[in-house]
Amino acid sequence: MFLPKENQNKFDNYVECCLNTKFMSTSRPLKITVFFVLSLLTLSGLVISSVVMINQLGMNQRLQGWVNLLWLPLPILILIVDRICVRKFEAKNVNKIQWYILVTLILIVILNYLRLLIE
């Protein structure tokens, strides 16, 4: 440019500062957790299966599609609680606790299955 040397440095610093992506981004990065992914998968599965069932010809399937929609508040509640916990305790800590909860639930299901096999 055609600026004096001292003004050129100030101008370059200003341009560098403005082009820095740290100053341009207004949204926070999305922090993925286990329950966040499971909630989104559950929500999409519930909505898709309900829409398919509601559009069927049989009355039983239509009714089951509407009944499936009654399960929507549960994953939405889990999603909201997950986002609150991530905002408060950071994603790494929340993810660790969620893995413990998930593994514990899987172990309980396996133990129940083994108990039913023994009976």
CA-to-CA separations, 78 to 11, 21, 104, 118, in angstroms, rounded: 49, 32, 17, 34
Vertex 119, ends 103 and 113: CA angle to 5°?
A: 20
pTM reported for the whole predicted model = 0.69
pLDDT tens per residue, range 79-108: 999 999 999 999 999 999 999 999 999 999
**Domain carrying residue 97:** 5-118
Amino acid at 32: I
Question: What is the structure's pLDDT at 10?
Answer: 60
**Highest mean predicted confidence (pLDDT) among 19-23, 25-29, 98-102:** 98-102
Structure confidence by residue, pLDDT tens digits, 54-79: 998 889 999 999 999 999 999 999 99
Report the domain count for the chain: 1
